[in-house]
Structure 1
Amino acid sequence: MKAIRLLLVNSFLMNVSFFAFIPFLSAYITGSLALSAGIAGLVLMIRQLTQQGTSFLSGILGDRFDYRLMISTGMVLRGAGFLLFAICTTPLELIAAAIITGLGGSLFEPTSKAALSIFTPPAKRGDVFALDKIVRHSGIICAGILGGVLLQLDFFYSSLVCGGIFIFSGVITFMNLPNEKVAVPKQSLADSWEKVKSDRLFIFFTISMIGFWFMFMQLYLTIPLHAAKVFNSPTFVSSLFIVYGVIVVFLQYPLQKWTRRFQRLSVIKMGMSIMGAGILLIGISNSILLFWAGFCIYAIGIMLVEPTSYEYTAEIAPPQFSASYFGFSLLAMAVGGGISQGAGGWMYEHMPQVNWLVGAIAGISSALCIHVLQAWNKRASSRRKYSVR
């Protein structure tokens, strides 16, 4: 329980820091530095691709070596990247800071999820992943308040405070996460690669999640930019994330209990479809009522998909390959999130309505892919039953 509590505290602090910093980074780049939305999108895309693009390797290393070392090193590196943004003024300097920030996330993200999965009894994983999401979004509520305060100050203080939180969390993790970590045999890098590569259904599941992450990452760039434009107030962004956090804190656990009556893939499919509808409503909104309706629908879709997808990954991953599976699954975030923030920034600048339509299509496409995966799983299960007979 000590390890689970520590990992949940980490989730809270990481989200306070991340959401008090990243959503406001695009406003800083386009405002204080007077660079284009395309540059802001490029910086966020590179951060995303660096983080999720290398997470599979980080997950393999986590399974081979030390979860505690990987998590704490990654958090310190993320903090250093945030601090660097304070002194970066040119696109190349911003990209360098984004790469360092992304590498830090690559080290701690898959290993944190794997450690949470390993330390939790299988029957309780769904509840713990739901609790983790509630804790993380409690952090988002605090981040909205902190970000709103820091927005009134020089950007240097945002970098200092948010980077300091990550460095502090990394030190605390290294000192307190139990040394025992994972009571399963350590695997070689080749074994981890071969195991994941041979699991074709899991690879297809990862591909199916690309559309979800395309929609999700709009939360960091185009949705805040659209909200600030529609309501003519950059400070509206902080209230956006406060509302998002409140929705998750109060609805995540009841939703998680309700979805237990359905198959996990059905819940994921439903959530992707709902997200697509929500993002389309956000895009066409020109009034506060329509915007909030779309945003709440979008948030409910995220709550259905995200913890359920983690639970599904934990269920199908052999314990000794847990971090490798979680790391590979984050490639979907690398591809979907990278396209979302790179192309999304460009589309928002040049043809904004197309951006929202593409988001809705991404949700429908991913839901259809999950439907196909369900059919494949059903056929595979039938063949196994037939062979047993």
Structure 2
Amino acid sequence: MSNSFLMSIGFYALIPNLSVYLTHSLSWSPLLAGVLLMVRQFSQQGPMMLTGMISDRVGYRATLTLGFLLRGIGFAMFALGTSPLLMFVSAIIAGIGGSLFEPTGDAALTTLTDATWRSRTYAVKKVIDNLGIVVSALIGSLLVNVSFHLLSVLSGALFAAAGIITYFRLPAINVQVKPVAWTHMWKTVTRDKPFVHFVAVMIGYFFMFMQLYLAIPARIVEITHEASSVSIVFLVLSGMMIVLQVPINVLVAKFNVIRSVQTGFLLMGTGLLVLGSAAHVTVFVCGIALFAIGLMTIEPASFDVTSRLANPEMTATYFGFYYLAMAIGGGISQGTGGLLMQVGSSIGLPGLIWWIGAFVALLSMAGAGPLRKSLPGKGAAE
């Protein structure tokens, strides 16, 4: 939980301000900024199936430590220069670090908690994450107008600190008594049809979620004409999650988990439409509120489904495969987001990106429907 807090501060202090820095301070086009964010996304989520398999084989502590240190190096490197080449190299190093610690961290949380309390524990972790976001918003808003370079170094240092804490404080977690063959691990996950279907549905979730790092920050800056106003997005989002995440998790646990996911898609899609039509900060905040409630409905449910379906000896492998949804959905979102913003403006449809997001929400709702009868366990098929 301490690591989650540090990671949240380091990530959200930097990444939401990165696109603004690239497009305003360095005068990059929205398309090029979106491509850089897409490269970081693919570098992180793309290899996660492999890094999850490695974690299950070699143990979670070493994998987490290395991942945190690489992320710290990558973030700090953003401060070294302004050339596209160096920025892209930094993004790749930061992404590879994330590919090592993200599925491994979820697997460690699953392994260290009792199944009865697993979903509740994840909800508490999200509250702690969002406390970190509150701190990050304050740090980001203070430093982004002073020195983006200092912000990059500080964010990298927080991840390095998380790596040190992990190495000395996290228990050694080795889930395989005897090493499981690589091919067996791969086949076990990829032949799990309900899980593969669920991961495919979650591509739509991550397409919408990743607008937090490009289209949504650009929208609030467009409304307020202040780069520091990006912090409004994450203050509202994190404040709602701190107050409502656990109560919503308790409520969601009483219903069919897939129906809850579908409701979350509906709320996120509606929130994007409100954000796109907002002409005033008040309406913008209402859109973020709807979007946030959708996130809070979907995230604990997705963690619960993944941990429920995972083979205990392959937990990190399952989470690694799950994050392929983020690699595909997030990569497409950020890669095309800048293009859709430019094309929409050029053809007189500035709301194009928001309508596309709402359409993705509807497709995801429809795609999730058949899973109500195929997922085992409480709340999955009632």
Query: What TM-score does the superposition give when structure 2 sets the normalisation length?
Result: 0.95
1:51 aligns with 44
Higher mean C-alpha deviation, range 17-26 or range 267-276: 267-276
In 1, Cα distance between equivalents of 2:122 and 2:177: 21
SS in 1 for 2:337: helix
In 1, Cα distance between equivalents of 2:146 and 2:174: 41
Contact persistence 1:115–1:182 (CA under 8 A)? no
* Alignment-mate amino acid for residue 222 of structure 2: K
1:354 aligns with 352
1:129 aligns with 122
Deviations 1:117-136 (A, max 9, x none): 01100000010010111111
SS in 2 for 1:326: helix
1:22 aligns with 15
1:210 and 1:305, CA in 2 relative to 1: closer, same or farther beyond 3 A?
same
Query: Alignment partner for residue 307 of structure 2, among 311, 314, 322?
Result: 314
In 2, Cα distance between equivalents of 1:350 and 1:234: 23
1:387 aligns with none
In 1, Cα distance between equivalents of 2:217 and 2:47: 27
Contact persistence 2:60–2:173 (CA under 8 A)? no
Deviations 1:175-194 (A, max 9, x none): 11112454765423222101
Alignment of 1:179-218 (within 5 A): 179-182=172-175, 185-218=178-211
Higher mean C-alpha deviation, range 347-356 or range 336-345: 347-356
Q: Does 1:367 align with 2:368?
A: no
* Alignment-mate amino acid for residue 14 of structure 2: F
In 1, Cα distance between equivalents of 2:85 and 2:322: 29
Contact persistence 1:64–1:189 (CA under 8 A)? no
Contact persistence 2:276–2:351 (CA under 8 A)? yes
How big is the shift at 1:239?
2.3
Query: Alignment partner for residue 62 of structure 1, among 45, 55, 65?
Result: 55
SS in 1 for 2:80: coil
Alignment of 1:85-100 (within 5 A): 85-100=78-93
SS in 2 for 1:31: helix
1:4 aligns with none
Backbone CA RMSD of aligned residues = 1.3
Contact persistence 1:184–1:319 (CA under 8 A)? no
Paired residues, number: 371
SS in 2 for 1:20: helix
* Alignment-mate amino acid for residue 367 of structure 2: C
Unaligned runs of 5+ in 2: 345-349, 377-382
1:79 aligns with 72
1:239 and 1:176, CA in 2 relative to 1: closer, same or farther beyond 3 A?
same
Contact persistence 1:64–1:188 (CA under 8 A)? no
Q: Percent identity?
A: 39
In 2, Cα distance between equivalents of 1:321 and 1:267: 26
Query: Alignment partner for residue 113 of structure 1, among 76, 84, 106?
Result: 106
Query: Alignment partner for residue 135 of structure 2, among 135, 142, 161?
Result: 142
In 2, Cα distance between equivalents of 1:186 and 1:150: 47
1:294 aligns with 287
In 1, Cα distance between equivalents of 2:174 and 2:254: 32
Unaligned runs of 5+ in 1: 1-7, 379-389
Query: What TM-score does the superposition give when structure 1 sets the normalisation length?
Result: 0.93
In 1, Cα distance between equivalents of 2:166 and 2:185: 25
How big is the shift at 1:87?
1.5
2:215 aligns with 222
Contact persistence 1:15–1:143 (CA under 8 A)? yes
Contact persistence 2:268–2:291 (CA under 8 A)? yes
Q: Does 1:259 align with 2:215?
A: no
Deviations 1:219-262 (A, max 9, x none): 11110110010122111111221111110000001111111210
* Alignment-mate amino acid for residue 92 of structure 2: I
